[in-house]
Amino acid sequence: MNKLFVSLFAASAAVCSLCAAEPVKVENTPAPAQNPAGAGAYDGMKAYEDWSLFQFSVIPQWPSSAYNANVYGLKTGWPASGGIGRVFGAEISWGMAGTSTIKGLQVSWTYCQNHEMNGIQASFLVCLNFVQFKGLQASCLYSQAGDFYGIQASTVNLSKNATGLQAALGVNVTDSVSGFQAAPVNVVSGPMNGMQCGVYSQVKECNGVQLGVVNVSESKGLQFGLVNYIKDAWLPVFPIVNFKF
């Protein structure tokens, strides 16, 4: 049984590497061109009126009917599903779940990806979103989102703009945050509105509180930690507490 599980897992990983066509960087991953098939539609996508309750696939491109389908119910892939269609319900696949637009649940053992998500995305290894995510994104290894609203949890979290909660066992990286970040390392290249907790936290502009061992802000903020640095503050480096408003 163990040998069978290992074989299936290896096959799933191989299929994922062949099927996953999206690059990792959020800012360099535009959505496909839209067409008149409806809001959120991409070239080749079927109109909303053309739908089914169930779709099965072996890989995202086969059978071809599953690639651009609208599913109001369950879409599943053994080992992989995906495409430019929409799922209003659940996409559950063994190796890869990768349909472009999801409203509901997207789950896979190893790899999930989409462009627009409203609901829950979960995988043991990797979860990717390239445009907008609303809901819960959770994985054991790596989670990535575009504009994010909700809860993001993984070992490494990456997002463009995060609103809500980012919790990581390793690193949180984002362009801006409105909410709460918790990880050993937090890095925000823009403004942070809320609270950061970690061993090392760095922001460009802190409109809130940083709590940790080492806190760094390039403009202003309120910091509690062993080493606190705020550029151009009256005392740029100060232990225990530092602030600039």
Nearest to 120 by CA among 136, 103, 131, 132: 136
Each domain of the chain, given as residue ranges in start order, spans: 31-140, 156-245
Cα distance between residue 9 and residue 1, in whole Å: 12
Strand order from edge to edge, sheet including 96-108: 51-57, 70-77, 80-93, 96-108, 111-123, 126-139, 142-182, 185-206, 209-217, 221-230, 237-244
Cα distance between residue 199 and residue 149, in whole Å: 25
Q: What is the pLDDT of residue 15?
A: 42
Give yes or no for a contact between 171 and 184, defined as CB atoms under 8 angstroms apart: yes
Q: What is the pLDDT of residue 37?
A: 38
Q: Which DSSP letter does residue 49 get?
A: T
Nearest to 79 by CA among 105, 110, 104: 110
How many angstroms separate the Cα of 143 from the Cα of each of 21, 29, 155?
17, 15, 8
Residue 5: in which H helix or E strand, if any? helix 2-19
Residue 12: in which H helix or E strand, if any? helix 2-19
Q: What is the pLDDT of residue 47?
A: 65
Nearest to 153 by CA among 164, 163, 140, 162: 140
Cα distance between residue 130 and residue 96, in whole Å: 16
Q: What is the pLDDT of residue 43?
A: 55
Print pLDDT tens along the chain (245 aa): 444 333 434 444 444 444 444 433 444 444 444 443 344 445 566 666 678 999 999 998 899 888 888 999 999 999 999 999 999 999 999 999 999 999 999 999 999 999 999 999 999 999 999 999 999 999 999 999 999 999 999 999 999 999 999 999 999 999 999 999 999 999 999 999 999 999 999 999 999 999 999 999 998 999 999 999 999 888 999 999 999 98
Cα distance between residue 218 and residue 66, in whole Å: 49
Q: What is the pLDDT of residue 65?
A: 83
Cα distance between residue 138 and residue 45, in whole Å: 28
pLDDT for 160-206, tens place per residue?
Answer: 999 999 999 999 999 999 999 999 999 999 999 999 999 999 999 99
Tokens of 75: 């879409």
CB atoms within 10 A of CB 24: 13
